[in-house]
Amino acid sequence: MVLHDRISDLPDDLLLHILSFLPTNLAFTTTLISKRWSSLFYSLDVLHFDYKTFKDDDINCHGFRRFVDNLMLSPLSPNKPLKRFYLDCYFEDQQKDSHIIINSWLEAANRRGIEEFRLNLHFNTLKNNILISRTLVILNLKLINIARDISCVSLPSLKTLILNYVLFKSPNDYMDFLSACPILQDLHAKRIFYTNLGEYNAPEERFKSLTLSKLVRASIGSIDAILNVFKNVEYLSLKITLNPIDQETSFKVIPVFQNLIHTKLVFCQGFFHIWDTVVELLQHSPKLQILFIRKWTRSSSSKEWKCPSSVLECVSSHLRSYAVVMIKVIAIAQMRNAVVAA
């Protein structure tokens, strides 16, 4: 009985879609099937390079490097636009030229009109010219050191920014980075670090020049929370990791959140919780519908809390769902129409 190759009968667009879910080195093995599959591989607009998918005992990852070099830097490499570029790259010996090698791959992807970068560079330095792009819409950075001079950064099309374990020179550089994203809609930033906190002078003044008018969702840490920057959001997640003095600086002015519908507050273990600030935030959130508070049992109040004398506007008219997690005792004011969330 003759077996029929049904997979090869599928249209090119569908085969490309299937290949896009594979690590690129595994997708490459299909080029051995036929010339058609080879042509399909070089038409991929989603590239996924992960050093962990290579069985490479060499600590310099020579096999991984050669493969990415051949695909991204070869004169035979296609010059077609890229939708997504994923890179997880770690050189165990932290060789001196590792950041040069990595950035050459990223520059090649950038020249192809990349729409989405997802990068885990294990604290290699990302050159600032990688952050100049008219086409980039989604940027996901993890374990990355941002180059010292970011004054030329320009991301006019960026809508989603995800930062996790990212190192900037100073908070001012972080603010300049955000300023380079004028239509940013979705910001997730956690574990932001700085090599020079001494340059962080007059944070309120620096933040006055930062406008994120298109921002809809923000998930941030309190050290980055000069809240006026995020006053237009519909969703705000805030992780409180400050002592009382720094909290007073970060929450010195709480703006009116005219669009805020859903807020999540997390008081981290070993840090103070500030109920007065929570009440003030609620007072400035007239449309709030969903409130979630997580308080670790080992966090404590920075001062005695006074219960509000009247029911807050959002509580009485809009609040539909609330949840308080890991708290020993709480007195909840009258919440008309509210339902406890599981």
Do 192 and 235 lie in one domain? The reply is: no
Please give the helix or strand (H or E) that residue 314 lies within, else none. Answer: helix 313-317
Do 50 and 195 lie in one domain? The reply is: yes
Q: pLDDT value at position 108?
A: 92
Which pTM does this prediction carry?
Answer: 0.81
Q: pLDDT value at position 245?
A: 46
Do 58 and 171 lie in one domain? The reply is: yes
Do 169 and 233 lie in one domain? The reply is: no
Strand, helix or coil for residue 138: strand
Span 139-163, pLDDT tens digits = 999 999 997 778 889 999 999 999 9
CB 101 within 8 A of CB 73: no
Do 220 and 295 lie in one domain? The reply is: yes
For the chain, the domain total comes to 2
Do 49 and 195 lie in one domain? The reply is: yes
Is 78 inside any structural domain? yes
- Domain span at residue 86 reads 45-202
Is 27 inside any structural domain? no
CA angle 160, 267, 140 (to 5 degrees): 20
Which tops the pLDDT comparison, 184 or 25?
184
Final residue in a domain of this structure, among 169, 202, 235: 202
Is 211 inside any structural domain? no
Residue identified by tokens 């006055």 is: 208
Strand, helix or coil for residue 126: strand
Final residue in a domain of this structure, among 202, 228, 261: 202
Is 17 inside any structural domain? no
Do 190 and 228 lie in one domain? The reply is: no
